[in-house]
Structure 1
Amino acid sequence: MYGTRPLTSLALLAVVGTALGAVWSLTGLAASEFATAGLAVLALVVAAVLVATVVGRRAAPTRENPYW
């Protein structure tokens, strides 16, 4: 468990970098001719994340037991 702190920092940096890149890409997409298609894909991704979050929260009590 010694190397978890640097790995956590690296993972956080990767997530922040990816989020900033996505925002930068979305600003360019909003100005292009593919804005409608981009928004449709974005809506599908948001819906998939919400469904995965709901399913994960419902499954969380069954994973709390280490002997499952």
Structure 2
Amino acid sequence: MEILQSLREPCDRKTYGEKLRQAINRLGKSVRTVQRLIIAIASMSKNVTISIGFSASGNGNLKV
């Protein structure tokens, strides 16, 4: 849970990519699955706007 919450914290693209790779490795899930988990956590919060933009490399960029 902590690793997913750390992905919601503001950071630059490089840092987000590193955190995302760590989450993928620790959880053993795909990029898309990890992003879905982050969205699920964010949806439990009040008044959250979620937008996801995907990079050309497919790593994705999640803004919450």
Determine if the TM-score, normalized by the shorter chain, exceeds 0.5: no
Higher percent of residues as strand: 2
TM-score, reference length from structure 1: 0.29
TM-score, reference length from structure 2: 0.30
Which protein is bigger by CA-based radius of gyration?
Answer: 1
